Every structure is written in structure tokens, then in C-alpha cells.
Amino acid sequence: MVLASLAMASLAAACHAVENRGPLELRGPTMGTTWSITLVPGARALDRVERDAIDRDVRDLLVHIEGLMSTWDSASELSRFNRFRGTAPFPVSQDTFAVFRWAVALAEETAGALDVTVLPLVHAWGFGAGGDAAAPAPDAATLTRLREATGIRHLELDPDGRWVRKLRTDVECDFSALAAGYAADRIAELLADRGLTGFLIDVGGEIVAHGHNAEGRLWSVAVERPEKQGRQVARVVPLDDMAIATSGDYRNYREVDGKRLAHIIDPRTARPIRHALASATVIDPLGVRADALATALMVLGPEDGLALAHDLDLAALLLVRNAQGGFDERTTPRFDELARMP
């Protein structure tokens, strides 16, 4: 559907050269979720040909990234890396290497709370492409063995050769805490390269906003309050050339022996998180950082997560379950500053 002959393209240019200065909506599926873009051309008009070209380029980019980083696709570059049982350098694409570099940097920045090498533990607890949702909880011996293979220290990166090397053959990686945010950043680059300045990108809930909306104001994004019934809004945040991401334990979970198991695994304990933090939201100039740091705060919990957010001067909002069955909001000064923007 994205291919067209030159004759068809010429006909479209002739028949659909009508200028469109209003907001345009593009959307579709990706990475097991959805993506959407709202474009505000402003003084610059977009005709149908350019709109279709943008739509095609975005879809091609997302197909490319998913084909590199999906653990649900056995043919993806990351899946092939995970199956590789050697310690020789493994050449990877530019995008995959970029995410590996972010993974190493953010693992160091969060003292290991963000750890892409947790994939075997994710599977052991019944989540992800290799997990069995009906399986019992893994025993202590299994967790000890898998924990030994967990840790960013088991990876070596070479930017000159653009390769990644396992220092243990059983290391396997999961980019689910970075890929959507990274994809949103790449789309933002694509749109900016086309001279577009007003847009809101949403890839699986990881959002990047630039410029202004159709009313000439900053984009406003709602942060969900994780109620048991329905969806409620906790905060509405204005974004000025920023990204926002939320990680939580309230959508993806399963029950084992009457216990609720969250899909987020703490690499320090090799177990699903068990604390009162229901969701963590981070605002950052980059989607990949907002995405990963929100996950890291969820791993750390309400106290340690808030402490890290303060240490890194993050714009963070934590929703913590209280004894009354509601939520307490904990914010950083940076978040409060951004939330007050007009």
C-alpha cells in the first residue's frame, strides 16, 4: 500500500496539491502496541503527496526498528544476538548499537536499576516472548543461576567496530524499556529533518512533543492515575520540546499461587518488584532516557526511586499506593517547575 508508480504519484500531486494547514493525524501498529503522530504544519502547508511521504517514512522507520530490536521476532537482530552462544564480537546495526550504548550509560547512571540483561529472568517469571504465563514461579536455584548471568558488566561494546560482545555466553538482552522511547526520538529527527516544528509523537505511550499545538500553545499530556476501574487523570503536564514516559505495574501482571506478579523485574533480587510504587513518570529532553529512567524508578521503589530522581535532577512524578487505597503524589522540584509552565 505504501508503493505507488510514478504515474500515480504525479496524478496525486496534480489532484491533491490542496494546502492543508490544519493538524494532521497519522497512526498505526508497532511493537505490539500502537503509534500516533499529530502534525501541525502551521504557516507551512502540507499537500497530500508530502503527507503520504511522511506517513510512509515513519512506517518504514518503525518496521526497521522493530525488525532490529523485537524479542518477539525470532529473526530480529536482537533475537539473533540473544541466541548467539559465543563470546566473539557480534556486529550490529547503527540503531541497535545506539540502544546498547544507551543501555550501558543508563545502567551506570541508575546503579544497575535499568538492566537490559534481565531477559532470562523476565522469561523465567512467565513474561515476554519466551515466558509461560501458566508456569509456576521459578525456584531459588534457577533464580541464582539466572542472576549470575545478569548485569551490564557482562557486555562489551566497541564503537569503532560497531560490535557487541558477550562476556558470558548465556547473556540475553531486552530493549523493552528503551526501544519505544528511542523510536519516538528517531521519528522526531525524521520530522525535524523535513522542516516540521509542531508535532506530538506517541509510540506505545512514550511521547515526544515539539513546538506548539493547533491553538499555538504547548502540548498538554495527561498522566494516568492507575485506578482499578477505568482510567483517571492524575496530572496534565505541558511539554516544551520534551519527552514524557510512564512506567507502572498495573497493566502487565499475572497471578501465581494467589500472588500478583508485576512484569517489571528487579535485577538486584531477580524477582518481580514488590513495593507501593504504582507508577513513575519522567520528563526528559529525550524519549529514550525518559522511557528507561521511568522503568529504573519503578525498579527502585518509592523511597530509593525518589532519591535517585533527586540525585539526577530528574523531572519525576511518583504515584505511591497508600493505606486508604488511594495514591500519594511525590514529585521532584524539576517536575514541579515544568508542570507550572503556562
What is the model's pLDDT at position 200?
A: 98
At a CB cut-off of 8 Å and minimum separation 6, what does 231 contact? 224, 225
Mean pLDDT, the chain, rounded, equals 90
- Provide φ and ψ at 156, rounded to 5°: -125, 130
Average pLDDT estimate for 74-94: 98
pLDDT for the residue 15: 33
The more confidently predicted of residues 250 and 115 is 115
Q: Does pLDDT of 1 surpass 50?
A: no
Which of 27, 42, 57 lies closest to 198, judged by CA? 42
**Which pLDDT value is given to residue 209?**
98
Strand partners, 327: 321
Residue 174 in this model has a pLDDT that exceeds 80: yes
State the Cα–Cα distance between residues 108 and 238, nearest whole angstrom.
Answer: 30
Judging by beta carbons within 10 Å of its beta carbon (0-12, 13-18, 19+), is residue 125 exposed, middle or buried? buried
Where would I find the H helices in the chain? 6-15, 48-69, 77-83, 94-109, 119-124, 140-148, 179-193, 287-311, 333-339
pLDDT digits (tens, 9 = 90+) for 204-263: 999 999 999 999 999 999 999 887 666 789 999 999 899 999 999 876 666 766 677 889
CA distances for 201 relative to 58, 310, 334, angstroms: 11, 27, 23
Least confident range from 20-34, 135-149, 168-182, 212-226: namely: 20-34
CA angle 122, 125, 130 (to 5 degrees): 60
Which range of 7-11, 38-42, 44-48, 186-190 scores highest in mean pLDDT? It is 186-190
Give the Å distances, CA to CA, from 144 to 120, 261, 267, 270: 12, 19, 11, 8
Three-state SS at 331: strand
Closest C-alpha to 170, from 75, 85, 91: 85
**In this predicted structure, what is the pLDDT of residue 20?**
54
Which amino acid type is present at position 319? Answer: L
User: With left for phi above 0 and alpha for psi between -120 and 50, is residue 195 left, alpha or beta?
Assistant: left
Task: Classify residue 218 by its DSSP letter.
Answer: B
Domains of the chain by start residue, with CATH: 19-68+178-339 (3.10.520.10), 83-166 (1.10.3980.10)
Coil vs helix vs strand at 28: strand
Q: How confident is the model at residue 5 (pLDDT cuts 50, 70, 90)?
A: very low
Band (196; pLDDT cuts 50, 70, 90): very high
pLDDT at 256: 67
Does 48 or 108 have the greater pLDDT score?
A: 108
User: pLDDT (tens digit, 9 = 90+) per residue, 129-162?
Assistant: 888 888 889 999 999 999 999 999 999 999 999 9
Task: With cut-offs at 50, 70 and 90, classify the pLDDT of residue 43.
Answer: low
Specify the pairing of strand 90-91 against strand 206-210. Answer: unpaired
> Residue 37: which residues within 8 A CB-CB, separation 6 or more?
25, 26, 27, 58, 187, 191, 199, 200, 201, 202
Mean pLDDT on 89-115 = 98
Chain centre to alpha carbon of residue 66: 12
Cell of 126: 512467565
Residues 287-305 have a mean pLDDT of 98
Question: Does residue 7 have a pLDDT over 60?
Answer: no
pLDDT at residue 22 greater than cutoff 80: no
So what's the pLDDT on residue 258?
65
**69, three cell numbers:** 530490536
pTM above 0.85, yes or no: yes
| pLDDT number for residue 73 | 95
Query: Distance between CA atoms of 144 and 158, rounded to whole angstroms?
Result: 30
**pLDDT tens profile 80-89:** 999 999 999 9
